[in-house]
Structure 1
Amino acid sequence: MHTESVIFSFFLIFTGAALLATLSLYFRQPLLLAYIVLGAILGPFGLEWVVDTELLADVAHVGIIFLLFLIGLDMQPSHLLQMLRKGYMVAFISSVAFALLGFVVGYGFGFSMIESLIIGASTMFSSTIIGIKLLPTTVLHHKQTGELVVGLLLLQDLLAIILLTLLTTLGQQFSQGLELSLSADLLISLGALPMVMLAALGFVRWVLLPLIKRFDRFHEYIFLLALGWCLGLAELAHSIGLSAEIGAFIAGVSLASSLISQYIAINLKPIRDFFLVLFFFSIGASFNFPLMHSIWFQCLVLATLVVTIKPVVFGWIIRPICKSKATSWEVGFRLGQTSEFSILIATLAASSMLISESASLLIQATAILTFVASSYLVVWNFKSPIAVKDHLRHD
């Protein structure tokens, strides 16, 4: 893509996003829906004005990295361990229940065993972007709702990383005609996780914080140092078999105990929002609408079951550790969708020839439908930065 076309694409995306966002606010609709609809209109299956969706998806991925970095900046290491201890059993039970739901639906509609297993795996996860983006800052920092949502999403992200690594291994072995087996690379990557965390904490204590203290008068330097630390650790994690998201989160956690963490968080939020607009646009732009006629009913059934059953299951499982029944239900509704990881799973499995294009489209369409439906439920009924009712709008 030439420079001129990149600039023109950005012009179309952000001008169009501003126009549709204005309409969304007038008609009290979630802004996330405007970005997805814009992608569908301008993308290769719409007007074909923006066609290089792979480039946009790569650029938009930076938004997820910054999102995880900002989450980490709000998590003291001791607080994080406490949350993970509270939520690991909930994450395990809910993952099994949702995987079974997806498997039964997939197998019931005639998909093969391996396709049904992957469809089931894709329904285990909830969206980190939706979950965090719709949490008010005060809830994210100080309320049990925020602690449970973030803790469960982090555990799911770890599980998603394991699954993506496993799918990569299976896809490589399947394409080479080898006997399927669990790769030692997976175990090595997981074993490296605590080492990366300890190394990050040490580097921050002995290198980054002294530099920040010495040059804290130069705000531009602090900004560049934070960006370099976030993206550098993200790339390191990716290079050893983890994900860039986990690396960015570790980078944030390692800085969370410092006095400079909230200053960094405030200054990076506009950059995060810029890339997240691109992320949701790329979801709408990359969706293959012409193929929907063959599986629209399956998509509708699976999406409906996810949106209705996930809040109930989460609300029931979380209730014993919640302060109130209302909190458990709110957490359930905030996690009542599939995930951006579901789209990654579908893409990876399809490219590895583990599933058909129809199965991949089912997973992606379910993700988009549940993104939209879940966002509606949250912004109409719970506090969020983009709530459609004035008394629910908080940040």
Structure 2
Amino acid sequence: MFLEAVWIGFAFACGLAVKRVGLPPLIGYLTAGFAISSLPGTIAMPEHADYVLSHVAHLGVLLLLFSVGLKLNLANLIKPEVIGGGVLHFAISIVLLAPGLYFFLDGDSYRAILLASALAFSSTVLAAKILEGKRELRAFHGRVAIGILVVQDLLALVVVSIAGEATPSPWALLVLLLPFLRPVLHRLLDASGHDELQLLFGMLAALVLGGYGFELVGLNAELGALLFGAMLAGHRRAVELSRTLWGLKEFFLVGFFLHIGIDGVPGVDAWLFAVVMLALLPLKGLLFFFLLIGFKLRARSAFLTSLSLSQYSEFGLIVASLVLPDWLVPLALTVALSFIISAPLNRKAHPLYDRFAPWLIRWERNTRHPDEQPVSLGRADVLVMGMGRTGKAAYDYLQSRYEVIALDSDPARVVDNERAGRSVFFADAEDPGFWQSLDMGTVRSVVLTINDVEAKVIATRNLRSSGFDGLIVSHSMHQDEADQIMAVGADQTYLTMSEAGVGLAEHVMQSGRV
């Protein structure tokens, strides 16, 4: 137990050190893993501890993908740029990489294709974590990136099967019945309440039903966790469930990155291979960029999507453990170094685009993707941002006197409100691209009823920076959050609980019974 405590402390120290220099802590966890792997046998990771850490790492990946699934709209996956971009990039990457790897593997074409396949994938874990950290999972480029990663996960099933993984059993056909399970999952989430039972339900859905359930029928556990999350994505409490799982997911992911580094100490040949692969990494991003431009994306969206996918995947380690054990350490080093390069570049993605925009825009096609058309609010007087209970109440009260339009980032909620006769469109207030294409029309007032305080801060800041000088009114649960919103330009911020108390008191006074 003493050694385990030392390793946890070492991982924390390395994570804190890299965070201080502007890198994500996960780079520190990778470094800690390599350092622990190089220690003498009496100090290094014993077999039982490595076994436990590998399971912790697996649970972290499953919880991350389940959380990503909670924010997915499956309809967004069935898009030409997602399916075409994912499949074409995979095929072209193999064609380009396999001939060179053929010589590295002494003329073994089968192993060369498998290794090329492993290098063709992008890291679901890193890309999802970067997009989640920047709050861009629901932005257009974030949705395209996650969609392509899902396509890659499906392709991964084929590669793992070819590489010798167990063939899916006939019971795998039961996956086709998953849509019928969705109402049951929604009812269970409703019944689980808001406390520890909700946390347990999330773990049941992600780890047992999605992860272990898919493994039992010979399918990919990670894909199962993502799909079960996606089936809950339209639920009104999906965001709450994601927040409940957040801390647990972050803890387990430390084990994932630590375990990658512990797999072995890289030698000279491993470093040489990694350096060559890193030199080719820009080609991976360029291929994504030009494919997405071909599918009518703007240069900005194509660039941001490509950058988020420009790293090698931890899936390469799975392939190596199956049929290329002698390539496990070189691939682990390659993946780790690509993470080190990709993470800080993605942190500066928007400034990088601004710098290279004149060159990148030259490659745009004359047409524009339908999802990126400018949004005009037309002749509306009031914009309501966020259509939960508070937003619907504000909309219904105002529409008797004004022309009101609303937006929400939950597609299911948009559909429900449209059926109720309200004018609502899908948009994410945290998507920079939305603000660049927004035409406020005749809107004079904005009501912020979004649940997330950071989203309200971002919306207020973008409204003011775009020149909007009308009224901005928000609600908040806490005074410190209200102060943040006011500091960036809101005119008024009401404390929800205080206003509810005042409203109750007014009803008492109006009753005349006091």
Q: TM-score surpassing 0.5?
A: yes
The 5 Å alignment of 1:44-193 reads: 48-52=43-47, 53-80=50-77, 82-83=78-79, 85-111=80-106, 112-136=108-132, 139-168=135-164, 185-186=167-168, 188=170, 191-193=173-175
* 1:12-31 deviation line (CA, Å, top 9, x unaligned): 33322322222213222332
Out of 196, 202, 207, the position equivalent to 1:220 is 196
Q: Distance in 2 between matches of 1:340 and 1:382?
A: 26
Q: CA deviation at 1:63?
A: 0.5
SS for the counterpart of 1:241 is: coil
Partners of 2:16 and 2:28 within 8 A in 1: no
Is 1:364 the equivalent of 2:360? no
The 5 Å alignment of 1:184-263 reads: 185-186=167-168, 188=170, 191-195=173-177, 197-205=178-186, 207-209=187-189, 212-213=190-191, 216=193, 219-233=195-209, 234-263=211-240
- Equivalent AA in structure 1 for residue 141 of structure 2: T
- Equivalent AA in structure 2 for residue 39 of structure 1: G
Q: CA deviation at 1:302?
A: 2.0
TM-score, normalising length from structure 2?
Answer: 0.63
Q: CA deviation at 1:186?
A: 4.2
User: Match of 1:389?
Assistant: none
User: Match of 1:299?
Assistant: 274
Higher relative contact order (CA 8 A, sep 6+): 1
- Equivalent AA in structure 2 for residue 25 of structure 1: K
Q: Distance in 2 between matches of 1:366 and 1:101?
A: 18
Give % identity.
Answer: 21
* 1:291-316 deviation line (CA, Å, top 9, x unaligned): x22343233112321x1111100000
Partners of 1:167 and 1:348 within 8 A in 2: yes
Q: Distance in 2 between matches of 1:100 and 1:325?
A: 26
Out of 316, 320, 326, the position equivalent to 1:346 is 320
Alpha-carbon distance change, 308 to 322 in structure 1, aligned in 2, over 3 angstroms? same
Q: Distance in 2 between matches of 1:225 and 1:317?
A: 40
User: Match of 1:182?
Assistant: none
Out of 318, 342, 354, the position equivalent to 2:292 is 318
When structure 1 is superposed on structure 2, of 112-121 and 370-379 the one drifting more is 370-379
Partners of 2:23 and 2:343 within 8 A in 1: no
* 1:252-292 deviation line (CA, Å, top 9, x unaligned): 11211111111110111111111111111111111232xx2
Partners of 2:111 and 2:324 within 8 A in 1: no
User: Match of 2:244?
Assistant: 267
- The structure in which a higher percent of residues are helix is 1
- The structure in which a higher percent of residues are strand is 2
SS for the counterpart of 2:136 is: helix
Q: Distance in 2 between matches of 1:14 and 1:382?
A: 34
Q: CA deviation at 1:44?
A: 5.3
* 1:39-79 deviation line (CA, Å, top 9, x unaligned): 11123556843333343122211000001100111123434
TM-score, normalising length from structure 1?
Answer: 0.80
Gaps of 5+ in 1: 173-184, 352-356, 384-391
Gaps of 5+ in 2: 352-431, 433-453, 456-514
Rg: which structure is higher?
A: 2
Q: Distance in 1 between matches of 2:213 and 2:155?
A: 19
Q: CA deviation at 1:188?
A: 4.3
SS for the counterpart of 2:163 is: helix
Q: Distance in 2 between matches of 1:164 and 1:228?
A: 26
Is 1:41 the equivalent of 2:18? no
Alpha-carbon distance change, 381 to 67 in structure 1, aligned in 2, over 3 angstroms? same
* 1:178-201 deviation line (CA, Å, top 9, x unaligned): xxxxxxx44847644323x22431
When structure 1 is superposed on structure 2, of 117-126 and 43-52 the one drifting more is 43-52
* 1:95-127 deviation line (CA, Å, top 9, x unaligned): 012112331221233532222111111112100
Q: Distance in 2 between matches of 1:193 and 1:371?
A: 33
Q: Distance in 1 between matches of 2:220 and 2:290?
A: 31
Partners of 1:45 and 1:287 within 8 A in 2: no
Alpha-carbon distance change, 223 to 295 in structure 1, aligned in 2, over 3 angstroms? closer
Partners of 1:30 and 1:379 within 8 A in 2: no
